[in-house]
Amino acid sequence: MKLIFKALVLLSFFSLQLLHAQQKALTVEDIFKSRQYALKSLSGVHWLPDGKAFLFTQKKEKRIVKHEVETGEESAWLELEDIVDPHTGKALKLFSYQLSKDGQKILFKTDAKRVWRRYDEARFLVYDLRKKQIKAVFNDSTRVRHAKLSPDGQWVGFVFENNIYVQNLEDNAIRQITHDGSQVILNGKFDWVYEEEFGQSDGWRWSPDSRKIAFWRIDQSNEPTFSWTEFDGKYGSVKTIHYPKAGDANAIVKIGVYHLKNEKTVWMDLGQETDIYIPRILWTSDPQTLAIQRLNRLQNQLELLLADVADGRTQVVLTDEDSCWVDVRNDLQFLKTRKQFIWTSERDGYRHIYLYDLNGRLIKQLTRGQWEVTRVLGVDEQKGSVYFTANKGNTIENHIFSIALDGSNLKQLDNESGTHRALFSPDWKYFIDTYSSAHQPPVQVLKTADGKAVRTLLENKLEIFEDVQLAFPEFLTFKTSDGVSLNARIIKPVDFDPQKEYPVLIYGYGGPGSQLVRNAWGRNILWYTLLTQKGYIIFTVDNRGTGGRGKAFKNLAYGDIGKYALKDHIEAAKYLAKLPYVDESRIGIWGWSGGGYLTLMCMTKGAEYFKTGIAVAPVADFRLYDTIWTERYMGLPQTNQAGYDSTSVLTYVDRYKGGLLIVHGASDDNVHMQNTMQVIKQLQLQGKQFRLMIYPGLNHSLQGPGAHYHLYKMMTDFIVENL
Residue range 97-150, pLDDT digits in tens: 999 999 999 999 999 999 998 999 999 999 999 999 999 999 999 999 999 999
Amino acid 337: pLDDT? 95
Determine the 3-state secondary structure of 601 from DSSP.
Answer: helix
Q: How far apart are CA 535 and CA 492, in angstroms?
A: 9
Amino acid 498: pLDDT? 97
Q: Quick check: pTM over 0.75?
A: yes
Asked if pLDDT for residue 75 goes beyond 80, the answer is yes
CA angle 713, 716, 720 (to 5 degrees): 140
Q: How far apart are CA 176 and CA 655, in angstroms?
A: 59
Q: What are phi and psi of 170, to 5 degrees?
A: -85, -50
Q: How far apart are CA 12 and CA 14, in angstroms?
A: 6
| Pairing mode of beta strands 537-541, 502-507 | parallel
Q: What letter represents residue 101's amino acid?
A: K
In this prediction, residues 227-243 reach a mean pLDDT of 97
Q: Kindly provide the residue ranges of all beta strands, DSSP E only, lying in 6-89, ordered along the sequence.
A: 43-47, 53-58, 63-68, 74-79
Q: Are 576 and 588 in contact (CB under 8 A)?
A: no
Burial class (CB in 10 A: 0-12, 13-18, 19+), 410: middle
The helix or strand, by DSSP H or E, that contains position 541, with its residue range, turns out to be: strand 537-541
Q: How far apart are CA 179 and CA 215, in angstroms?
A: 13
Average pLDDT along the chain: 96
Q: What are phi and psi of 693, to 5 degrees?
A: -135, 125
CA angle 713, 715, 721 (to 5 degrees): 105
Q: How far apart are CA 379 and CA 390, in angstroms?
A: 16
Q: What is the DSSP string of 652-691?
A: SGGG--S-EEEEEETT-SSS-THHHHHHHHHHHHTT---E
Q: What are phi and psi of 198, to 5 degrees?
A: -105, 5
The 10s digit of each residue's pLDDT in 186-221 is 999 999 999 999 999 999 999 999 999 999 999 999
Amino acid 666: pLDDT? 98
The 10s digit of each residue's pLDDT in 321-340 is 999 999 999 999 999 999 99
CA 398 to chain centre: 15
Amino acid 23: pLDDT? 74
Q: How far apart are CA 484 and CA 119, in angstroms?
A: 43
Residue (of 239, 93, 128) closest to 668 by Cα position: 239
Asked if pLDDT for residue 1 goes beyond 50, the answer is no
The 10s digit of each residue's pLDDT in 352-378 is 999 999 999 999 999 999 999 999 999
Amino acid 22: pLDDT? 59
Residue (of 165, 168, 201, 197) closest to 181 by Cα position: 165
Q: How far apart are CA 227 and CA 233, in angstroms?
A: 18
Terminal CA-CA length for the chain: 46
Helices (H), 458-593: 525-533, 551-555, 561-578
Amino acid 2: pLDDT? 42
The 10s digit of each residue's pLDDT in 474-526 is 999 999 999 999 999 999 999 999 999 999 999 999 999 999 999 999 999 99
Amino acid 149: pLDDT? 98
Amino acid 10: pLDDT? 41
Q: Are 279 and 295 in contact (CB under 8 A)?
A: yes
The 10s digit of each residue's pLDDT in 549-565 is 999 999 999 999 999 99
Residue (of 207, 221, 350) closest to 266 by Cα position: 207
Determine the 3-state secondary structure of 552 from DSSP.
Answer: helix
pLDDT band for position 3 (cuts 50, 70, 90): very low
Q: How far apart are CA 675 and CA 245, in angstroms?
A: 12
pLDDT band for position 5 (cuts 50, 70, 90): very low
Q: Are 297 and 277 in contact (CB under 8 A)?
A: yes
Q: How far apart are CA 130 and CA 356, in angstroms?
A: 42
Q: Are 457 and 45 in contact (CB under 8 A)?
A: no
Amino acid 24: pLDDT? 87
Name beta bridge partners: 125. Answer: 108, 136
Q: How far apart are CA 503 and CA 492, in angstroms?
A: 11
Asked if pLDDT for residue 451 goes beyond 90, the answer is yes
Cα–Cα separations (whole angstroms), residue 625 to 245, 434, 594, 643? 5, 35, 11, 15
Amino acid 14: pLDDT? 44
Q: Is the dihedral of CA 629, 613, 585, 31 positive or negative?
A: positive
Q: How far apart are CA 472 and CA 470, in angstroms?
A: 6
7 vs 696, higher pLDDT = 696
In this prediction, residues 657-677 reach a mean pLDDT of 98
% residues pLDDT > 70 (the chain):
97
Residue (of 473, 469, 416) closest to 447 by Cα position: 416
Asked if pLDDT for residue 18 goes beyond 80, the answer is no
Helices (H), 178-319: 192-198
**Cα radius of gyration rounded to whole Å, the chain:** 27
